[in-house]
Amino acid sequence: MSFDLMLFDHFLIEKQAVSEVLLCNKITEDYALVLSEEQALELVETRSYSLKNFGRIEFGGGIIEKVILTFADTPYISQYRYAEFLNELVEIFYYFKNETLDLMSDDDLIGYMKKYFDGVCQGSLDQLKFRELERMAKNVRLGLDPDYNDLYDSEKLMEEEDDDE
Amino acid sequence: MNNNLKKQTKIDVNKLSGEFYFQSLLQEAYVKGALSPKESERIQLECLKLLADCTERFTKGKSSSVRVEIAQGIMASNLYTIGIYLKSLPDVDAALFHIENEPIEKLYEYGYQVLKRKINVANYFFNRVRKSKLKTANQAYNITIDQGFKPFFESYEINFHVHEIPSDIDYQLIHPVTDLAGVEFVIKYLESLYYENLFCSYFDADIIHEVMSGYDESYKNLLDNIGAQVFQNALGCQLLNVPLSPLDFSPADLNGLDKKLKSRHPAELQRQLEIAAWELITDLELTNPSLKKYLIASLPQITTTVHKGLASHALNKVFVPRYNPNIKPLVHYNMGIKMDDQAYRELVVEFLSCRFFDDKLAIIKEHIKTLADMEDLLIAGELESPEAAMIFDLLEDIELAVLTKRHPLHPAIDAIDYSASEIRLQQNLDAYMRALPRDRLAQILSMTTAIEVV
């Protein structure tokens, strides 16, 4: 019997996680978003894969429920490709958890993801991942405000200069 | 009637790890069938739950996931805490009973309480060590006691990193502490160090300083143990039936010891040392039973050292004669005046361009008039070992003694402080000295202690 963390029976962890994910359907039903048991299992597997890929470990349903519930009211998703969308979000979440050096709490990170996704990215996962969250992670690593954007600042500066003229 | 019936247990206690006690106990119990697969699954699940709870406390509830290294650290810490409680139980069966009948979380809580008590024990031994601290120049000893344990007592983290040892321990003990971690390691180390201090306190600190200077004049920079050398010298005195307190040996004493111990078989030698050790304990009126046990346990190691010393005719490295480094040298040797720099440069160029060694010898005989120039040429001459040996043959004993004093071979310590040419000279000189007859070598070495180069 080994106590190496990676050798813990993942089946036990996943079984528990799937049932927690399925419980979220009760709330997301109101937004016409539902996951089947198979999709829930796939989502949990994606989580396991991402955790392994990014060298992390999580207990229980973890952030999947938070991601599902936070993104339930976004105008940019529908039942069609809902599961695929969640899979990508979960992967993005763990990637940026590492990129922000664990300096940001789960709620804050998901909150920023939602804010950018619904805001400047207008539903584009690529823009969210490769532009907004990259910038945010860099800001966090440098000890700046996560929202700080030197591009906007320089634009603002230019606008002010134009106004002065 | 002495009733010494022992309860039979399936688990082999010797196979259990001191550092990973809980894990090894579970493994052993599982293999021997003392723990069912169902039980073991329950324990794994409960450990996982405990890890989840601890991780939540670690992240203050702000993050549901952590990096694997962090989780592994927390898990190791939890298992260590549980192990420390199980070790506090009377035997393995009791430990197994608790594992089977108590939730893992409860075992962790009990372990946590034991841990707090252990820190007090560590504190107690640390105070004893500080009070009994030996007055010595050895830096590793002083720094370990004065500063080495500060990080432990200031920042030992008993929630998530309990299995780690945040301390800078450099000083080596007679019995190195192995197979322990965290606070248990610190307690064992401090306890052992206290016994060594206690033993050394029976002797004068200045005498110990001289003994260690006899062992190595630069002992203050070494990581060698002081107590072991003092004990060895005391044993030697005891074997000679001379007073213990001077801890000193004359050449006649060493000859006497050599004769006494020479033809002994290692087992016989150990028995003799054991008898001497018990006599020593009686003479010094040592009353602390743990100290007695500690000293006696070091005898196999000392027997090996003595046996090696006898075999290599180096008993003076085992039973070390005292040496006072503060005594002024008897001979002042003047290296002489160096030749003009320009002339020296030309000489070296000519020397290096010589095809035959005879030409090099001719240059030396014609131009080198002082030992200072000879030393420079030996360093700069890029000489092979046989060539250097032929040049050393030209020198007198006192000149060899001066060179030995100025260029001792300490490859492990000084290798980075010297240039490659200097190291080559040290090696050549060392090889040459080793090839000398023993009497002449002893004479040269004794000169090195009495010379001061000016």
Q: What is the pLDDT of residues B186-213, one digit of tens each?
A: 999 999 999 999 999 999 999 999 999 9
Shortest distance, CA B55 to any CA of chain A (angstroms) = 9
> Searching chain A, which residue's CA lies closest to the CA of residue B22?
A3
On the question of pLDDT at A6 being above 60, the answer is: no
Confidence band of A8 (pLDDT split at 50, 70, 90): low
Residue of A1, A59, A105 with shortest CB distance to B27:
A1
> Searching chain B, which residue's CA lies closest to the CA of residue A50?
B65
Confidence band of B419 (pLDDT split at 50, 70, 90): confident
Confidence band of A7 (pLDDT split at 50, 70, 90): very low
Cβ contact, residue pair A3, B72, below 8 Å: no
> Domain ranges in chain A?
7-164
**8 Å CB contact between A40 and A21:** yes
> Domain ranges in chain B?
13-115, 234-315, 331-453
pLDDT in tens, A115-165: 999 999 999 999 999 999 999 999 999 999 998 887 666 666 667 777 776
On the question of pLDDT at A3 being above 50, the answer is: no
pLDDT confidence of residue A1: 40
Q: Is A97 on the interface with B (CB under 8 A)?
A: yes
Q: What is the mean pLDDT of residues A57-69?
A: 82
pLDDT confidence of residue B1: 47
pLDDT confidence of residue A159: 73
Q: Kindly give, in sequence order, each residue whose CB lies less than 8 Å from that of residue B122, ignoring residues fewer than 6 positions away.
A: B152, B153, B183, B186, B187, B190
On the question of pLDDT at A2 being above 50, the answer is: no
Mutate which: B48, B63, B72, B75, vs A, most A CBs within 10 A:
B63
Q: What is the ipTM of this complex?
A: 0.80
pLDDT confidence of residue B3: 55
- Decide which of B319 and B420 is more confident: B319
Shortest distance, CA A50 to any CA of chain B (angstroms) = 11
On the question of pLDDT at B90 being above 80, the answer is: yes
pLDDT confidence of residue B126: 96
**pLDDT-above-70 percentage for chain B:** 96
Q: What is the mean pLDDT of residues B368-376?
A: 89
Q: Is B27 on the interface with A (CB under 8 A)?
A: yes
Residue of B41, B44, B64 with shortest CB distance to A58:
B64
Confidence band of B413 (pLDDT split at 50, 70, 90): low
Mean pLDDT of chain B: 89
Q: Is A65 on the interface with B (CB under 8 A)?
A: no
pLDDT in tens, B46-77: 998 899 899 989 999 889 889 999 999 999 99
pLDDT confidence of residue B412: 57
On the question of pLDDT at B171 being above 90, the answer is: yes
Residue of B40, B44, B65 with shortest CB distance to A97:
B65
Q: Is A140 on the interface with B (CB under 8 A)?
A: no
Cβ contact, residue pair A8, B44, below 8 Å: yes
Q: Is A7 on the interface with B (CB under 8 A)?
A: no
pLDDT confidence of residue A68: 94
Mutate which: B65, B72, B78, B96, vs A, most A CBs within 10 A:
B65
pLDDT in tens, B322-349: 988 887 667 788 888 888 899 999 989 9
Q: Is A56 on the interface with B (CB under 8 A)?
A: yes
Cβ contact, residue pair B64, A106, below 8 Å: yes
Cβ contact, residue pair A56, B66, below 8 Å: yes
Mean pLDDT of chain A: 86
Cβ contact, residue pair B65, A56, below 8 Å: yes
pLDDT confidence of residue A12: 65
Residues of B in Cβ contact (< 8 Å) with A1: 26-27, 30, 40, 44
Mutate which: A2, A4, A5, A14, vs B, most B CBs within 10 A:
A5
Listed as own residue / partner, the contacts of B438-442 with beta carbons closer than 8 Å and 24 or more positions apart are B438/B313, B440/B397
Cβ contact, residue pair A58, B27, below 8 Å: no
Mutate which: A2, A3, A48, vs B, most B CBs within 10 A:
A3
pLDDT confidence of residue B227: 94
> Searching chain B, which residue's CA lies closest to the CA of residue A5?
B72
Size of interface A-B (CB pairs under 8 A): 67
> Searching chain A, which residue's CA lies closest to the CA of residue B26?
A1
